[in-house]
DNA sequence: CCTACCGATCGGTAGG
DNA sequence: CCTACCGATCGGTAGG
């Protein structure tokens, strides 16, 4: 996957071209989170980086390639901030809650300039077709899958009641922060993130067993 | 508000210009729900309507005016499908539930070609500024406000426990269908809408009093 | 990585 | 409501 600009394959030190590409994508991700993936134009991106359009374009074969590379870069940033830190947390409800907390902090901390890259991209491409839409859908499925797995594990660990439907429950946990994002970013409701933290925690506790470890809102 | 193209004010029959404007906006709303409000270009819209760019443009002073008129038209359609039908339903939990059901049916019935116009517009404009963003935010505040009012009325009618925070509860009810929209439209999860119906109903019932009227999923 | 360029389309205007 | 046009920007290419 990716355009594999350089021929290197092992963990050699990145070439200058690789580093340029990386710095382009870091800016692209921020720009796309504000302007959208379609509004991410090669001209504006080149301007922002003080380089020529064609110089930038040499790193990507087409606009679609640039979009795909931007989605991949955003996915890596999401994994770094939300998914991977949760894997170090105790399996079961503590890990499920860590995923939620990480997601909310990643919004609160404005990891992307324009709020959640994937929330924006999801709604921008949800009625289109093609490779970019597929890449976004794959990323969201990964996230929903991670939540579902965390719920399943929490059931297996007897932290959550076995009677719940893990798919349905995961979809709830998936939905609440998206709504909070909307409240926070568009409606400028300063309480939205706090409210949704409370809602998710209460929802988890409503289906927790007596042997479930305590979880609480991070301070 | 609006560009008020004609000088008529009362309920006279709409002029030919008014009717043209209306038919333009019906197409604009569908196009914007797919391509986004920024991707709604005057050229594409004129093509779709088999009229000239400048002929179409004569109805609006600028692209921003076209976007504002499109938001207003979408708002009217939303009110017609979701808000107004709920006002005929018994106040309290039945009305709250009707708002949710109407929203989900409006997604299921593909009232807009590309899914919910406002979900797309919200995430497209949530990190911009200007009149278009403000119009979208106002529409979403109206919707969240309608939900909050319905919750407050349900508390007053003693359908819901007085201990709940109506703002927080409304934000939950607001969030769940947005997540379901994502599952339905992007992830093509056919169970998403059914799951979220069940989730919302269960959530309402979890804070219902003994005197709350029965509500159930419409068939 | 650059300059210099391509045809197409953008939002918008003049004039009828 | 139209034709005919404007400068700016789009994605992309040639050639170095």
User: Which comes out higher in pLDDT, residue B123 or A13?
Assistant: B123
CA dihedral A80, A82, A83, A89 (to 10 degrees): 110
Cβ neighbourhood burial of A33 (10 Å; 0-12, 13-18, 19+) = buried
Helix axis angle for B131-156 and B93-108, nearest 10°, is: 140
Min Cα–Cα distance to chain B from A55, Å: 26
Q: Which spans in chain A are helix H?
A: 16-35, 42-48, 53-57, 63-78, 84-87, 93-108, 117-125, 131-156, 166-185, 192-206
Structure tokens that stand for B135 in this block: 């119009």
What domains appear along chain B, each with residue ranges and CATH number?
70-206 (1.10.357.10)
Query: Average of pLDDT values for B41-62?
Result: 96
Whole-number Å distance, CA A66 to C1' D16?
24
Structure tokens that stand for B103 in this block: 């929203």
Does residue B12 have a pLDDT over 80? no
pLDDT of residue B18: 82
Going by C-alpha positions, the residue among B164, B148, B157 that lies closest to residue B203 is B164
**CB proximity list for A36: less than 8 A, separation 6 or greater:** A120, A121, A124, B36, B38, B124
Residue B66 contacts A, CB cutoff 8 Å: no
Residue among A38, A110, A123, A140 with most chain B CBs within 10 A, to mutate: A123
Gyration radius of chain B over CA positions: 19
pLDDT of residue A4: 40
- Whether the CB-CB separation of A17 and A9 falls below 8 Å is answered with no
pLDDT of residue B5: 41
Does residue B142 have a pLDDT over 80? yes
Helix axis angle for B117-125 and B131-156, nearest 10°, is: 120
Query: Average of pLDDT values for B195-211?
Result: 98
Question: What does the alpha-carbon distance between residue A135 and residue A133 come to, in Å, rounded to a whole number?
Answer: 5
pLDDT of residue A15: 79
pLDDT of residue A65: 97
Ranges of chain A whose pLDDT falls below 50 = 1-10
**Quick check: A23 CB within 7 A of strand D?**
no
Residue with tokens 């109206």: B142
Dihedral pair phi/psi, residue A185, rounded to 5°? -85, -45
Q: What is the pLDDT of residues B58-114, one digit of tens each?
A: 999 999 999 999 999 999 999 999 999 999 999 999 999 999 999 999 999 999 999
Does residue B1 have a pLDDT over 50? no
φ/ψ region of B50 (left if φ > 0, alpha if ψ in -120 to 50, else beta) reads left
* Stated pTM of the model: 0.93
- Kindly report the bases of strand C lying within 7 A of a protein C-beta atom: 1-5, 9-15
pLDDT of residue B16: 77
For all residues of chain A together, what is the average pLDDT? 94
Pairs of CB atoms within 8 A across A/B:
149
Q: Which of residues 40-79 of A touch strand C (CB under 7 A)?
A: 51-56, 58-59
**Quick check: A63 CB within 7 A of strand D?**
yes
Task: Say what percent of chain B tops pLDDT 90.
Answer: 89
């Amino acid at each position: 996957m990716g355009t594999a600009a350089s021929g290197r394959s092992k963990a050699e030190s990145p070439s200058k071209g690789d580093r340029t590409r990386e710095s382009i994508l870091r800016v692209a991700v921020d720009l796309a989170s504000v302007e959208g993936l379609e509004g991410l134009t090669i001209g504006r991106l080149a301007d922002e980086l003080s380089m020529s359009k064609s110089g930038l374009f040499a790193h990507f074969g087409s606009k679609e390639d640039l979009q795909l590379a931007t989605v991949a870069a955003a996915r890596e940033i999401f994994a770094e901030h939300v998914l991977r830190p949760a894997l170090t947390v105790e399996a079961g409800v503590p890990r499920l809650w860590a995923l939620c907390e990480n997601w909310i902090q990643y919004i609160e901390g404005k990891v992307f300039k324009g709020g959640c890259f994937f929330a924006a991209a999801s709604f921008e491409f949800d009625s289109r077709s093609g490779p970019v839409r597929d890449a976004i859908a794959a990323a969201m499925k990964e996230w929903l899958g991670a939540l579902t797995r965390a719920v399943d594990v929490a059931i297996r660990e007897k932290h959550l009641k076995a009677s719940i439907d893990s798919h349905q429950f995961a979809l709830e946990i998936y939905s609440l922060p998206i709504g909070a994002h909307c409240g926070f970013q568009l409606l400028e409701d300063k309480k939205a993130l706090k409210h949704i933290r409370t809602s998710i925690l209460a929802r988890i506790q409503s289906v927790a067993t007596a042997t479930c470890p305590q979880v609480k809102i991070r301070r």
